[in-house]
Amino acid sequence: MPKRVKDLSGLISAGRAGKGVPGSRGDVLAALLRKRAAAWQGGFDDLEAKLRSQIIWSLPVETPDEPEEDERHNGSKPGRRRAG
């Protein structure tokens, strides 16, 4: 391979190293939202639907504790037990 091609290949690879790797879940979500907005503006309905499902999947999910049967009737807060 000619030296110029190897130099160009090395420069391109060096420019990519470490880039594109999200630092947090928030970075992933922000990138997906930007891509979805661009897909919507471009009228790419299929791509927008795929990105929408990825956005939903990437959202943090917290499930509240299911209240026990006796807690539902005595008005206490879910996930907490009364002492006694």
In the chain, the number of structural domains is: 1
pLDDT at residue number 84: 43
Alpha-carbon torsion (20, 27, 44, 42), positive or negative: negative
In a domain, 52, yes or no: yes
pLDDT in tens, the chain (84 residues): 566 666 777 767 666 666 667 778 888 899 899 999 999 999 999 999 999 999 998 888 777 776 665 555 555 555 544 454
pLDDT at residue number 74: 57
Alpha-carbon torsion (41, 45, 47, 49), positive or negative: positive
Domain boundaries, position 45? 24-60
In a domain, 3, yes or no: no
